[in-house]
Amino acid sequence: MSRSRSATASLAVAAALAAVAFIARGGNIVDRTALAELALIAAGAALVCAAVAVGPRGPLRGGPALAAFGALALVTLLSESWSIAPDATQLEAGRTLAYLATFAGAIALGRLQRGEAAAVARGVLLAAVAVCGYGLAARVWPASFDELAFTGRIGQPFDYWNALAGMGALGLVPALWLGARRTGSALATALAFPATGMLLATVLITQSRGALLAAAVAVAIWLVAVPLRLRSLVVLAAGVAGAAPVSAWAVSQDAFTLGLQDLSAREAVAGEFGLLLAALVAGLTAAGAVYVAVGARWQPPEGLRVRAGAAAIAVAIAIPLAGLGAVAASERGLTGTVSDRWSELTSDTAAPPTGGGRIGSVASERASYWRQALDVFAEDRLAGQGAGAFELARLAHRTDGGVARRAHGFGPQTLADLGLLGGAAALALLIAWLVAASRATGIGPRRWWRPPAAPLPPWSDERTALTALALAAVAYGVQGAADWTWFVPGLTASALLAAGFVAGHGPPRRTGVVAEPAAIPVAGGPRLALCAATVAVAALFAWTVWQPVPAARDADDAFGLLADGDATGALALAADARRADPDSPEALYAIAAAYRALDRDRSALATLRIAAAERPRDPEPWRQIAALELEELGRPAAALTAAQEALARDPYSRVAAELRDRAAAAAAAAAASG
């Protein structure tokens, strides 16, 4: 592929991934997320059709991983039949099918563009820089980008700081690859320096410990496995030097650490933050230019490279040893400190500090979420409660009034939602992908006990680019083990593209083996039939994704009409939503609200009882029944019973507890007066 075509391919990849990120945002708005998922399905189907119709013949690399992903999607789909929250399961089924299509399309792309890993790596990096740059810019112009921020930690465009940090961690190794590679344009090498600084600053300013760990793991593997260590260390050191002062300043400001800061507080520090970012970009760009100029005129001799490498290894070993020594010499000692940190990590009540101290703390609320997920898993170890049902199932197991939609970890979430069936499929996917990635990169334990059938190819630009893409996926996986990044389409699609391309690419060519230009095969009957089947499957995926959208829109619009005083129109629209999606509880709540506005309280009560019967684990219908009985029908005894039903399903519901107390007081007053 020519340089211009390669650059065009990189821009196309970056534009597609960035579009998904900005359209879907945090993945919580049904119609926006559905549009992004439809785009992923269409792109995946197009790539698969292209690979089937005109792609090269040969074994399907990445096939076992794709089959395992298909098994995970199948379990997700089937779980709607036993889910305690069918509406949530329907959304997760569409999400998983979109991800499956993305992974399949990435495998097809690896097959179609074998030898073009560099273009894909640049595209993934460009997307990460674009998203992280947007997140940083949102705090330079908060009135334009971030006016509704409820937390000080940066998180746009995902509305979630850890997801933005995940994008920074995912792009870090591709940035090191771009700056350390021995080939390529001088401009790209120089720009890798500010890209690295921006990605590091994003991870640090978000104070995301999971993303920081993910970045550290990916970078450590890169430095150990790929013989570009000194070059990579130069790029990394420059990025750290540029990002550290900006990040240290930001985490010392309340506007970047404390929640519920008004717009004026964020605007007060926006100018200074913008100047620091500009200095970061300008300084690192200049450093990159100097690095390129020096490298063009001088190459360090072999002896100097060996000594520098030894020094780097010595420093890398000395840092943790020094840390262990300092801990051992502390008042608590090594074992006491480890015990304290473990207690802090597993505590349900320990809260991390704000500001820069958060990075060094291991306290979080995740231990509570993981415990709740395991409690939900214990209810049905084989099949779970249904995809996406954790939010509802956890209510019976929480020990405080905290709110959480996700289990903050792919493993606990999968076990709670899909049980051992989903867990086994996810584990098979992980193992199959690791095997495929090991074959593609030549990195893995296989060569430790059995030499490869053919000599490994040298560390060409293709192989290093494949390794960078594989480690981008590894960074995503490490963070996803302790966070709910799976539910953020922009971040997950970027990781799936990297992972699928590596799996579908296969081992890079060895030096000296020149591939003959392959003639494009004619799309014969069997290939056309496979293309037609692919289109049909994609259409089924798209239908699954889109099915809940009209009902969600109608239910939202019905509540809007109620706010405008049009109860009759709201009732008609809510009824349409119910017909479009019989699993939607929001449609029933809209119908009940419309009946109440029309003074048809008994019809509203009957509707809410239908919701309670359809969702026996959900406290919300009972909360609404209690309010209706107390406020409209004047039956405090019935309201008290309904409130107690709600509390039986969610013992820490403040709304239900308030309704219970009000109903008990009203019932007592009625008994005293009667």
CA–CA separation, 449 and 248 (whole Å) = 46
| Segment 342-353, tens digit of pLDDT | 555 555 555 666
Q: Identity (one letter) of the amino acid at 241?
A: A
Global pTM exceeds 0.85: yes
- Give the whole-angstrom CA distance, residue 325 versus residue 320: 8
The set of residues, in sequence order, having a beta carbon less than 8 Å from that of 60 and lying 6+ positions away, is 66, 107, 111
Instruction: Please write the tens of the pLDDT for every residue from 204-230.
Output: 999 999 999 999 999 999 998 898 888
The DSSP annotation for 451-485 comes to: --SSPPPP--HHHHHHHHHHHHHHHHHHHHTTS-G
Q: Which two tokens stand for residue 538?
A: 């994609």
Cβ contact 357:54 at 8 Å? no
pLDDT at position 469: 98
Structure tokens at 30: 């049904």
Q: What three-state secondary structure class fits 286?
A: helix
* Cα 529 versus chain centre, distance: 35
CA angle 42, 543, 551 (to 5 degrees): 125
Given this model, what pLDDT does residue 3 score?
A: 74
Hunting for tokens 């400190």 — which residue is that? 337
The CA R_g of the chain, rounded to the nearest whole Å, is: 28
Strands (E), 77-168: none
CA atoms in the 13 A half-sphere facing the CB of 179? 32
Ordered by where they begin, the domains of the chain are: 3-297+405-447+462-513 (no CATH), 549-673 (1.25.40.10)
Given a cut of 70, the residues of the chain with pLDDT beneath it are: 1-2, 146-150, 296-298, 302, 304-313, 315-316, 319-363, 445-456, 509-524, 674
Sole residue written with tokens 């009946």: 595
Provide the 10 A C-beta neighbour count for residue 399: 12
Q: What is the distance between the alpha carbons of residues 551 and 31, in angstroms, rounded to a whole number?
A: 10
- pLDDT reported for residue 516: 42
Structure confidence by residue, pLDDT tens digits, 42-100 = 999 999 999 988 878 778 899 999 999 999 999 999 999 999 999 999 999 999 999 99
CA distance 252 to 240: 18
Phi, psi values for residue 263, rounded to 5°: -60, -35
pLDDT of residue 508: 76
Check residue 522 and give its pLDDT. 52
pLDDT at 570: 96
Q: How far is CA 618 from the centre of its chain?
A: 27
Number of H helices, E strands in the chain: 28, 0
Here the tokens at position 360 are 């060094």
Q: Which two tokens stand for residue 38?
A: 């439809």
